[in-house]
Structure 1
C-alpha cells in the first residue's frame, strides 16, 4: 500500500508540470504579427477536443478584455446541460514573449499556467484555431455561433498540417444569434 502515495504524488507532479507549460507543442507554429486589440471581445467555441474542464458544456463562449497590467482577462462561459445551468470561469492570460506573437500563458487556477497558442487566424479576426501546451488541446473559435463549410475545412486543414488528430474534435451546440 506504500505504492499508492508514491503513484499519487507522481501523478499530481506530472499534472502540475503538464498544465503549467506555457510553450506551444513542438513543431506547432503560432500566428505572427498578432494584434491583441483585434482579438478582444466574444468568441464562440465551434469545436474542441474533449477535456475535463469543459465536458458537458454547450453554447460555450470565451470573452477577452484588456487588463491594466497588460495581460488579458478571459471569461469562459457555457451551459451545463446535465445541471441545467450556466457555468462561468474567469482567467488571466499573458504573452510569453512579444505581444506580436500569439503565444500566451493562461491561468484559471491560481498560480498554474498552461499554453494558449493561436495557430491559425483569418485576416479579419473572425475565425481562430487555438491549441494548448500539447496536441491534446484544440479549439476552433468564431465570432459567430456557426461557420461556413469552407471555413470549417480551412480550420481542419490548418489543424491537420500542424499535426492534430481532427477526428477527435467535438462539435459544440450553439444557439444562433
Structure 2
C-alpha cells in the first residue's frame, strides 16, 4: 500500500511517552484521514474523563453536515496498553462489541496538539486543545503528521466552531 492512500506501509511508532493528563478534557479534531464512521462529520470532539490506573472514558461527538448540525455521539471505555509509555490505548465501543487500538504518535510538549493513528497506519487524526490552531502551530503540527509518513493531500479538515 502506498502513502498516496494516506496509509503508511509500516505504521509509525509513538515517538515519546504520554502523560496521563493528555487523557483528560476536550480535544478538537483539526484533520483526519477520511473514514466511513466520520463521513460528513464537522465540529468533531473527543472528551476524555475518569482516568484511573490507565482506564478512562471517551465520548466522541460528530455534528452532521455543519458544526451546528445534529450530533452523533459515541461512548467508549478505554485502557492504556501495558509497556507503551501511555502512548497506546484500546477503545471499546458498544459495550465491548467493537474495539480498536489507537496510538498517540506524537504530541506537543505542552499538549496543545496530538497526532493519533491506528496501528496499521491507515488512519491518522490531528487533535488540538483548541477548536482552531494558530497558523504557525497548525503548519508545524501538519509537518509532523507528514514526517510520520502521511500524505497531507488526502486529509479532511473538518470545520470547527470558534468557541
Check whether TM > 0.5: yes
Moved more, 57-66 or 157-166: 157-166
Question: What's the CA shift for 1:68?
Answer: 5.2
User: Structure 1 unaligned runs (5+)?
Assistant: 1-24
CA contact (8 A) 2:48 2:57 kept: yes
Instruction: Give the equivalent residue in structure 1 for 2:42.
Output: 58
Instruction: Give the equivalent residue in structure 2 for 1:155.
Output: 141
Tell me which of 71, 77, 84 is aligned to 1:86: 71
User: Structure 2 unaligned runs (5+)?
Assistant: 1-8
Compare the two structures and name the one with the higher helix fraction. Answer: 1
Question: What's the CA shift for 1:102?
Answer: 0.6
| C-alpha spacing 1:67/1:148, structure 2 compared with 1 (3 Å) | closer
Moved more, 136-145 or 153-162: 153-162
Q: Confirm whether residue 103 of structure 1 aligns to residue 88 of structure 2.
A: yes
The TM-score with structure 2 as length reference comes to 0.83
> In terms of Rg, which structure is larger?
1
CA contact (8 A) 2:57 2:77 kept: yes
Instruction: Spell out, residue by residue over 1:115-161, the C-alpha distance to the aligned partner (whole angstroms, 9 max, x if none).
Output: 21111111111111110122221111111110122222222221222
CA contact (8 A) 2:32 2:123 kept: yes
